[in-house]
Amino acid sequence: MAAGGTGSAKSFNFKVVLLGEGAVGKTSVVLRYVENKFNEKHISTLQASFLTKKLNIGGKRVNLAIWDTAGQERFHALGPIYYRDSNGAILVYDITDEDSFQKVKNWVKELRKMLGNDIALCIAGNKIDLEKERHVPVADAESYAASVGAKHFHTTAKLNKGIEEMFLDLSKRMIERQSEDTHKSTTTSRSNRTKTVTIVDDEPEQPSGGGCCGSS
Amino acid sequence: MRLLFMFHLFSDFKHHAYEISVKDQPHPTVFFAKSAEDKANWMAVLTALHYRSTLERMLDTILTDEEKKQPLRLPSKEQYRFAEEDSEDNIVFEDCQTSNGIQVIRGGSLLKLIERLTYHTYANPSFVRTFLTTYRSFCKPQELLELLIERFEIPDPPMTEEDESALRRGVSLVREDLKKFRKEYAQPVQLRVLNVFRHWVDQHFYDFERHPELLERLMEFIDNVKGKAMRKWVESIKKIVQRRSLTGSTEQLEITFDQTPPQTEHYLAKSSDEFDLMTLHPVEIARQLTLLEFDLFRAVKPSELVGCVWTKKDKYILSPNLLKMIQQTTNLTLWLEKCIVCAENIEERVAVVSRIIEILMVFQELNNFNGVLEIVSAVNSAPVHRLEHTFMEVNPKKTLRLALDEAKELSEDHLKKYQEKLRSINPPCVPFFGMYLTNILHIEEGNPDFLRDGIINFSKRRKVAEITGEIQQYQNQPYCLTVEVEIRNFFEALRPREDMSIEDFNDFLFYKSLAIEPRNCKQPPKFPRKSEFPLRSPGIKTSRNLSISGPSKSHPVALSSEPKSFNFQKIQEDETVTSPKAGTPPAPPTPTSPTATSPFAEVFAPVMIDTSSARASAASSSVTDEELKPPPVPPRKPKSSQSDVAPTPTSPLLSNVPPIPPRDNLNRPPVPPRVNVNGAMVTPQVPPRTYKQHYKHQHHAPPPS
């Protein structure tokens, strides 16, 4: 499958994957975004682990296929089957859980190794309703995000803050990338491009912070 | 058939003839019977048919009257908490019913759920299964046990005022209401409580392993249970407990097949210290890994999934088998990556990757999807995927490239192709667990635990149980392959990371990858070979050894598609002690289409489990659920289903006579208008007797138990 993004001027199809440690609230974020529900109402339609959302951004139709990997975190080594062909990734951590932020760094590293800069990244510090128990300093998180070319968002699925903005921003950036691509090489078809780009391996951008506080 | 007909008896007895005329049709049909007796039989049946509906209505009326005279009286809800009446505040039903007319519970208070679990008017095996699979998400085992004991200890209803005054007058009193209460309420409820216990210890013994005091309490209770019918159940429960205590809940059953498993494939490795990716036969590697992964898959219990306990703090206690399975998957993928990047010499590396793809092909053949995704992940991982020069050598081998592409496609589009394929193949298979995990998590997170205060959302649990049911379905189809203990040990002991952290190990793999194929290198640097094994693969086409699978060496038929239930049968000592089969919940769409034939079909013997028998057993499990209603059938209610007491169709006397269709109250056609019977009336013979007997039973004998 082509990585999404049919180049036709008006409609875009993007695949977005949600990654992150268990219990950081990935599912709540998606459910909030897609169904605007957070554990309050009866959700009857749920079954598929992937959800879709249609957007209209400045007259451009965007279809997001959102793949939640919640529950599968412990299949560490199966990462490639989740993020393959993704146009965007949302890396979620829990602001009260330092380890979950460390996991985000690992994911960024792996995604950059594999997909280079071909993927738009968002980092979501979730559960800001629990601000009092925050263990990941805002400054650290934001400077880290900037250093790896990702956008950082403060979210809470519970209070429905930051989520809409995050998906909107991600969509816009994916559209930009797409348009740049089509500008650069009008002749190369999208699917070809994906195949070649994934082999490009730039030195993964590694801010010193990422390496040293290590894995302990 | 709504033919209106009349029958005449001819006076001409010599010919044993009789005539049937359909109303408003001019020409009657004349039948000639063989003998006078034959004719009498026919007449008896025809008459019986004709009068049946009238008689049945009469019977129903009488029974309704009886019922009214003697309503079922229960203790008050103050005396007995389970006697509270249904109301909107304590129980909610789904709009739909099950096929046998049982209301499906959407939610209820814990007391109401337990009442329905052990309901006096019907057994509900699927509810028992779902409940015991999922209850831990809303109730502790200790709490459940105490509630069931409380449910069992039913006080007698108090005397009516009439009775009391009669007693005061000194009239010796037979309390009919008490008799009725015991027979129609107390006894069925108690037997159903025992049935729940039995199912519990048989299918969920781990509850008792984790909480020894729970078992103590249960044994103490059942030891004090009295009554002959009850004791049989108690003995049966004890036997199960004994067996489970010895073998544990993760008992391995020996499975026998009607076909000989294919012979072990040997290659270079002669002893276990020589075992490795390149020295073992690729077919055997794939088989042994498949068996290992299947066993790990099979060990995962529904209770490890309900409530997403594998994501919770005490996951190692609550989901041990699931985590073990995932760990093995991770280890294998990492090991494969390591094997690839540690083959520094390019020829060797190409051989290693090719061998791994061959194993992938055998996995596909064996429907080991977990294995397929392990390999796809390894090949797509950052350190391996970038090895351009290696794949430039591998890709021209068309079979390998196609196989790899096909496998990669499985996981695309949110595993779309995988899901399709899983539905299209015949088990045995090893499904990929990740998909189930996310689906369960979505149901759990997307639906509230309570519909409202105190009303447990049971429908949410049922949805989760549907998924665990599908998993169980696949767990019950074993592979017809032989375990090679040493090879299995080798793979179980794989620790590719040794004591490195996962992050360090990933870095190690990546730097190794950069060393063997530096960025943008035109030619990979030359490395000498470190190993001595030949790089050529023995291939994965094996000739199935016909000499041992011929008919002369007939093997026992595959025992059961459902090892657990087979197991269950063994302790079933008599037919009165029956219980819902410990089967699996409703089947997922049965995969029916045959496995696609492929050039590699020989690598393992064709699907061993006779699918027709598997299907039959699946079907029968639903039937037995019906037939094996554990406690006695409560007395018939007018207008309720009576299908289980259908009259015996023929008696020896009426051997030549067509059987009377069984009575079917549910779909009974409207009673035809009465027809004048011309000619000599034959005394209507009572249709075959069960009817009357049944009626008698209602009044004089306890229902068959």
- The ipTM, to two decimals, is 0.81
Task: Write out the DSSP string of B152-201.
Answer: H-PPPPPPPHHHHHHHHTT-----HHHHHHIIIIIHHHHHHHHHHHHHHH
pLDDT of residue A52: 84
Q: Do A80 and B380 touch (CB under 8 A)?
A: yes
Mutation choice for A interface testing from B311, B414, B517 by most A CBs within 10 A: B414
Question: What's the CA gap between B379 and B382, in Å, rounded?
Answer: 8
Residues in chain B predicted with pLDDT less than 50, given as ranges, are: 1-5, 545-655, 657-658, 661, 664-705
B434 chain-A contacts, CB cut-off 8 A? 69, 71-72, 75, 78
- The DSSP element (H or E) to which A94 belongs, if any, is strand A88-94
Give A42 to chain B, closest Cα distance, Å. Answer: 5
pLDDT of residue B634: 41
Question: What's the CA gap between B687 and B245, in Å, rounded?
Answer: 53
Question: What's the CA gap between B234 and B213, in Å, rounded?
Answer: 19
Question: Where does B549-674 show beta strands of DSSP type E?
Answer: none
- For chain A, the C-alpha Rg in angstroms (whole number) is 17
Q: CB distance from A199 to chain B under 8 Å?
A: yes
- The amino acid occupying position A95 is I
B323 chain-A contacts, CB cut-off 8 A? 74
pLDDT of residue B152: 96
Task: List the one residue out of B209, B81, B99 whose CA is nearest residue B152.
Answer: B81
Q: CB distance from B502 to chain A under 8 Å?
A: yes
pLDDT of residue B609: 40
Q: DSSP 3-state assignment of B610?
A: coil
- When CB atoms are compared, the residue of B434, B447, B451 closest to A72 is B434
Predicted confidence band at A89 (pLDDT cuts at 50, 70, 90)? very high
Give B613 to chain A, closest Cα distance, Å. Answer: 31
In chain A, the largest separation of any two C-alpha atoms, in whole Å, equals 53
What's the token pair of residue A158? 């519970």
Give A66 to chain B, closest Cα distance, Å. Answer: 9
* pLDDT of residue A5 exceeding 60: no
pLDDT of residue B655: 43
- When CB atoms are compared, the residue of B382, B501, B502 closest to A113 is B382
Q: Give pairs for B501-509: CB < 8 Å, separation 24+.
A: B501/A214, B501/A215, B502/A76, B502/A215, B503/A106, B503/A214, B503/A215, B504/A215, B505/B334, B506/A106, B506/A110, B506/B382, B506/B383, B509/B334, B509/B337, B509/B338, B509/B341, B509/B381, B509/B382, B509/B383
What pTM was computed for the model?
Answer: 0.71
What's the token pair of residue A156? 């809470």
Chain B contacts in chain A segment 55-84 (CB below 8 A)? 65, 67-81, 84
Q: DSSP 3-state assignment of B459?
A: helix
- When CB atoms are compared, the residue of A37, A43, A81 closest to B373 is A81
Q: CB distance from B573 to chain A under 8 Å?
A: no
- When CB atoms are compared, the residue of B373, B388, B414 closest to A50 is B414
Which residue from B minimizes the CA distance to A42?
A: B447
Question: What's the CA gap between B613 and B429, in Å, rounded?
Answer: 18
A110 chain-B contacts, CB cut-off 8 A? 382, 506
Angle between helices B398-410 and B346-365 (to 10 degrees): 60
- When CB atoms are compared, the residue of A27, A42, A110 closest to B448 is A42
Mean pLDDT over A88-94 rounds to 96
Angle between helices B346-365 and B369-380 (to 10 degrees): 150
What's the token pair of residue B651? 């008696």
Beta-bridge mates of residue A122:
A90, A151
pLDDT of residue B695: 38
Q: Do B377 and A114 touch (CB under 8 A)?
A: no
Query: What torsion, rounded to 10 degrees, do the Cα atoms B373, B375, B381, B387 define?
Result: -150
- When CB atoms are compared, the residue of A46, A77, A199 closest to B446 is A46
Question: What's the CA gap between B526 and B547, in Å, rounded?
Answer: 48
pLDDT of residue B115: 96
Question: What's the CA gap between B399 and B358, in Å, rounded?
Answer: 9
Buried b (16+ CB within 10 A) or exposed e, B634-652: bbbeeeeebeebebeeeee
Give A7 to chain B, closest Cα distance, Å. Answer: 19
Mean pLDDT over A84-102 rounds to 94
- When CB atoms are compared, the residue of A31, A114, A214 closest to B385 is A114
Q: Do B445 and A27 touch (CB under 8 A)?
A: yes
* pLDDT of residue A159 exceeding 60: yes
Residue B404 has phi, psi (to 5 degrees) of -70, -45
Q: DSSP 3-state assignment of B319?
A: coil
Beta-bridge mates of residue B660:
none
Question: What's the CA gap between B34 and B193, in Å, rounded?
Answer: 56
Mean pLDDT of chain A: 80
Q: CB distance from B622 to chain A under 8 Å?
A: no
B330 chain-A contacts, CB cut-off 8 A? 74-78
- The amino acid occupying position B510 is F
pLDDT of residue B370: 97
pLDDT of residue B249: 55
pLDDT tens readout for residues B532-564: 888 888 888 875 533 333 333 333 333 333 333
pLDDT tens readout for residues A23-79: 898 988 988 898 765 544 444 445 555 688 899 998 899 999 998 888 999 998 898
Q: Do B378 and A43 touch (CB under 8 A)?
A: no
pLDDT of residue B583: 42
CA distances in angstroms from A136 to A129, A148, B147, listed in the order given: 14, 17, 46
What's the token pair of residue B108? 């209820």
* pLDDT of residue A207 exceeding 60: no
Question: What's the CA gap between B403 and B358, in Å, rounded?
Answer: 8
CA distances in angstroms from B83 to B86, B430, B682, listed in the order given: 9, 47, 52
- The amino acid occupying position B557 is V
pLDDT of residue A184: 66
Nearby residues of B690 by Cβ (< 8 Å), 6 or more positions away: B645, B646, B647, B648
List, edge to edge, every strand of the sheet that includes B103-108. B91-97, B103-108, B455-457, B450-452
B510 chain-A contacts, CB cut-off 8 A? 113
Q: CB distance from B329 to chain A under 8 Å?
A: yes
Q: DSSP 3-state assignment of B275?
A: coil
Nearby residues of A112 by Cβ (< 8 Å), 6 or more positions away: A148, A202, A204, A205
Question: What's the CA gap between B630 and B624, in Å, rounded?
Answer: 11
Q: Do B377 and A77 touch (CB under 8 A)?
A: yes
∠ Cα B445 A18 A120 (to 5°): 155
Q: Do B411 and A67 touch (CB under 8 A)?
A: no
Give B470 to chain A, closest Cα distance, Å. Answer: 14
Chain A contacts in chain B segment 647-686 (CB below 8 A)? none
Q: How many CB atoms lie within 10 A of CB B61?
A: 11
CA atoms in the 13 A half-sphere facing the CB of B387? 33
Residue A199 has phi, psi (to 5 degrees) of -85, -25
Which residue from B minimizes the CA distance to A44?
A: B447
Distance of CA A60 to the CA centre of its chain: 21
- The amino acid occupying position B294 is F
Beta carbons of B187 and B212 less than 8 angstroms apart: no
Q: Do B308 and A71 touch (CB under 8 A)?
A: yes
Beta carbons of B389 and B518 less than 8 angstroms apart: no
- When CB atoms are compared, the residue of B311, B334, B510 closest to A22 is B311
Query: What torsion, rounded to 10 degrees, do the Cα atoms B629, B634, B635, B637 define?
Result: -90
Mutation choice for A interface testing from B377, B411, B471 by most A CBs within 10 A: B377
CA distances in angstroms from B428 to B42, B105, B368, B377, B472, listed in the order given: 54, 33, 9, 23, 12
Q: CB distance from B445 to chain A under 8 Å?
A: yes
Q: DSSP 3-state assignment of B520?
A: coil
B373 chain-A contacts, CB cut-off 8 A? 78, 81
